[in-house]
Structure 1
C-alpha cells in the first residue's frame, strides 16, 4: 500500500475528524477570497473617488486578516494532529519513518487544501457579490455589483493557501518528531492537576477588577484622570490584566472548590462537571485570560469604527454646514462662480452674504477655543444678527442673545460645549485696528463657516470665529472694512465634486482665500469610514473565530481524553440525557465567563470614553448593542456546536 492510498483510506475511515479541519480551512479561504476579491472588483473601483486609498486599505486589512487565518488554521491543525497521535504511534511501531508519516500528512493537507480552495473560492465569489453590495450601501452608492471571480484574487488565494499548506505540514512534522513513541500511546492519559485555590488571591482578583471598573466609570473628565493620568492608566491596566488572570486562575478554582464542599454537592450531576472543571483550570487559565482581554479589544474596535461610521454622516454636516461657502474676492469672480453654479445640475436653495471683521488675538487662543492648533491664527468677528439669520435658515436651535461686551466663541469640535458661569468667563482681547475686549460667556460646539476645504486635500483648517453683540460689531465696522462671505445651499450637495472643483479653481486666484465645500469632504470621509467599518468587521469575525476556536478545539481535545471516564459512567447506567446536561454545564462555565468579561470591559470603555462624548447620537447606543448581540450569537453557536460534538466524542466506544 503506497502513501497516497493510505491517505485516502485515512480520510474515509475517520471522516468526522477530517471534517472539523476541512471546515476550518474552507472558512479561512472564504473569508480571505471574499475580502480580497473586492479590491479587484471593477464595479466597485469605478464608483470610488479614492481608488488608491481603497486598494491600499484593502491590502493592509487583507494582510492582517490572513495573519488571523494563519493562527486559526494552525490551531485547528494542532488539534487535528494531537487527536491522531496514537495513530501515528502505530505507524512508527510498524516501521514507517518520520519522513514518510510527514509526507503522508502533507498529501492529506494537499487534498484538504485543494477541496477547501475549490469550495471556498466558489462560496467566496458568491459572498463577494453580497458584501460588495453591502459596501456600496455603506458608502451610499447605488450601482449594481455583478458576480465575478477576479483572476488576481484567485491566483493570490491559491498561492497563499498553498504556502499555508506547507506551513501546516512543517508544524505537523515537528509535532510528530518531538514526541517519543511511548508518549504517543500515553498522550491521552496526561491530565492537569487541580490548582490549590487561595481565598486571598481570589479576593484580590475581585479587588483588581473592581478597581479597574471604578476608575473607568469615573470618566476622563474626572479629577483622577485629569490630575493623575499615569496612575489611573497603570491601575486600570494592572486591574484588567491581573484581575482577569487571577479570576480564571484563582477565583474560578476557589468557587469550584467551595461548590465541591457544599452539603448539596452530591445532588444531581454536580460532582461530574465540577470535578472535571477543577482539573481544567490550569490548562484554561492563559487561554481564557487572553480571550477575555482580546475580546474586549475586538468589541472596542468594532464599537469605535461603528460609531465613527455613524457619526460621519452628521459630523461632515456639522464640520462643513454650508454646501458651498467662500470669501468674496471681487465682482468679476463672484459673477463667474454664480454662472458656474447656475449652469450646473445643482439648484440653489438659498444664497446669503454675511460679513466678518478680521482681527488678531491678543489673548491666548486657548481662552476661547479648545484645541486652538486646529483653528486659524487670526480671528473673525461676526454680529449676533448675521449669526442668528444663518442659524434660522438651517433650522438649528442654536440662536444666541448677547448684551454689551458678551461674546460666544464657536469652538467647533469641542467634546463638551461650555456655558460658562459668571466668575469663570474669560476676558478675550482682539486687535482689529483698535483693541477690543469681550467676555466669553459660552464656548459653543457649532460652525458658522466650517472647515476650509480643498478637492484634493479635504479638510484644511477651521476659521476661528467669535460672535459679538450687534452694538460691538457696529462700533468696529465703522473703522474696519468687513470681509464678505458668500454662502450657498444647493440640491444634491453630496454629488457636487465636479462643481466644487470648478469653483475652487476660480478661488485659486487669491492664495489663502477661504473656501469650503461639503462635497470635498463628504465622499472621502464616507468612503474612508465605510472601508474602515467593513475591514474591521471582517477582522473581528475572523478574530472571533480564531478566539472561539481556542476554546472549541481545547474542549474537543479534553473530550477525547475523557472518553474512558464517560465509558465507565455509561456502564454504570448513566443516561444520555444526564451526559448532555453535564457537558452543557461544563462548557457553559468555560465559554461564557470570558465572553462576559470581554463584553463588560469593552462596553465600559466605549460608554465612558466615547459614547458620553457624543450624546447627540442616541442611535449609536443601539448600534453597539447590536454588535454585542452578534458577538453573543456567534459565541452561542460555538458553544452549542462544541456541546454537540463533545457528546459525540465521549459517546464513542473506548
Structure 2
C-alpha cells in the first residue's frame, strides 16, 4: 500500500508538472554532452591539430558544470517548493488519518527518488544518442570525414551527471520536505495568506531599499571601472556586494510600491488596487524574485562571455589542419605511421 501510494503520487506529479520534468531531462542531457566532450572522436582528433583552443575549451568544463549545477539547484528548489505548497492539505490529511511524520518524510523521499530515477533512465540514453549525433554532424561540417567514428559511451560523464543531479535533488528535498514534515496538522490544513506574515516597520524596508541600491551601484561601478578584475579578492567583494544588494533591494521594494499606492488618491481606485496586488502577491516573495534575477543575470553573463570568446577566436585564429609528416624523404615511414593510425586504406 505504501509503495503503491508512492508510485501513484509520482505519476501524478509528472503529469501535473510536465514542463518541470522536461527541463530536468534537458539538464541531464546537457550535463552528459558537456562532460563527455573530451571522450568524443572529433575532440580527440582536433586536440592534435588545434590543441590550444581545445584545451581552453576543456578547462572551462568544470566551471560550466558547477555554474549549471547551481542554477539547476535553484530551479529545482523553487519548483519543488511550489509543488509541495500545493499539496499541504494532502499532507495534513495523511497526518490526520494516522500517518507518522517519519513515514510522511519517507513517502516524500520515495517520490523524489522515483522521479529522479525516471529522469535519469530517460535522460542518459537520450544524451548518449544525441551526443553521438552531434559528434557525427560536427565531423561532417568540419570536413573531418577521415575519422573512423565509433560509438563512445563515457562512463565518467554518466557517473558525474548522475552524482551532480542526485546531490542537488537531495539537497533541495532535505531543505523542503523536512520543513513540511515538521509542521503541525492545523497549519497544513489551514490556508495561511501571505499577508499574515510578520511585518516590520516601514523605515526598515526603506533602509533596506536604499542599502540595496547603494550596494548594487557599488558592485556595478567596481565591475565597469575594472576594479573587480585586478584579483580574486576584488572579484569576491564585487560578487558579494551584488548578491547582498539584490536581496536587500527586492526586500525593501515593498516600501516603494506602498508609497506609490498611497499617492494614488481616491480618484484612482483601480491604480491603488493594482499596486496593492503587486505588494501582496509579489513583493512578499522577495527572496524568490531576487534569486531569479541573479540567475537570469548569471545566464546572460555566461551567454555574453561565450559570444565574445567565439567572436575573438573566430576573428583572430584561422581553422588550420596540418597533415605534414616529419619525414617527407622516407615514404616507408609515412606508410607505417598511416597504418599505425588506421588510415592506410584512406590515403593512396
TM-score w.r.t. the length of structure 1 is 0.39
Match of 1:179 in 2: 183
Match of 2:112 in 1: 109
1:516-535 to 2 correspondences below 5 Å: none
Distance 1:215 1:128 in 2: 42
Distance 2:278 2:173 in 1: 33
1:94 CA displacement = 0.9
User: SS state of the match for residue 262, structure 1?
Assistant: coil
Distance 2:223 2:158 in 1: 48
Match of 1:62 in 2: 65
Deviation per CA, 1:181-233, whole angstroms, max 9, x where unpaired?
A: 2222235445346665569759947974896599579856xxxx8xxxxxx99
Determine if contact 1:34/1:124 at 8 Å carries over to the other structure. Answer: yes
Distance 1:243 1:169 in 2: 28
1:554-633 to 2 correspondences below 5 Å: none
Name the CA shift for 1:90/1:237 in 2 (closer, same or farther; >3 Å): closer
Distance 1:167 1:206 in 2: 29
Name the CA shift for 1:171/1:236 in 2 (closer, same or farther; >3 Å): closer
Match of 1:46 in 2: 45
User: SS state of the match for residue 144, structure 2?
Assistant: coil
Distance 1:173 1:241 in 2: 26
Distance 1:19 1:246 in 2: 34
Name the CA shift for 1:194/1:497 in 2 (closer, same or farther; >3 Å): farther
Q: Which runs of 5+ in 2 are unaligned?
A: 228-233, 328-348
Determine if contact 2:88/2:189 at 8 Å carries over to the other structure. Answer: yes
1:90 matched to 2:93? The reply is yes
Deviation per CA, 1:76-100, whole angstroms, max 9, x where unpaired?
A: 3333323322211211111112232
Match of 1:494 in 2: 320
Name the CA shift for 1:273/1:119 in 2 (closer, same or farther; >3 Å): farther
TM-score w.r.t. the length of structure 2 is 0.66
Determine if contact 1:216/1:236 at 8 Å carries over to the other structure. Answer: yes
User: SS state of the match for residue 47, structure 2?
Assistant: coil
Match of 1:248 in 2: 250
Match of 1:312 in 2: 313
1:123-522 to 2 correspondences below 5 Å: 123-129=126-132, 132=135, 141-143=142-144, 150=153, 152=155, 153-154=157-158, 156-158=160-162, 160-161=164-165, 167=171, 170-171=174-175, 173-186=177-190, 188-191=192-195, 192=197, 197=202, 201=207, 204=210, 208=214, 212=218, 244-245=246-247, 247-251=249-253, 253-263=255-265, 264-267=267-270, 270-280=271-281, 283-293=284-294, 295-316=296-317, 494-496=320-322, 498=324
Distance 2:139 2:129 in 1: 16
Distance 1:168 1:94 in 2: 27
Name the CA shift for 1:196/1:59 in 2 (closer, same or farther; >3 Å): closer
Q: Which runs of 5+ in 1 are unaligned?
A: 226-231, 318-492, 503-654
Deviation per CA, 1:305-347, whole angstroms, max 9, x where unpaired?
A: 4323312244458xxxxxxxxxxxxxxxxxxxxxxxxxxxxxx
Deviation per CA, 1:119-165, whole angstroms, max 9, x where unpaired?
A: 3234434543565478779xx84336979571514455445545556
Name the CA shift for 1:60/1:259 in 2 (closer, same or farther; >3 Å): closer
Aligned length: 312
RMSD: 4.6
Which structure shows the bigger proportion of residues in helix conformation? 2
Structure number with greater Rg is 1
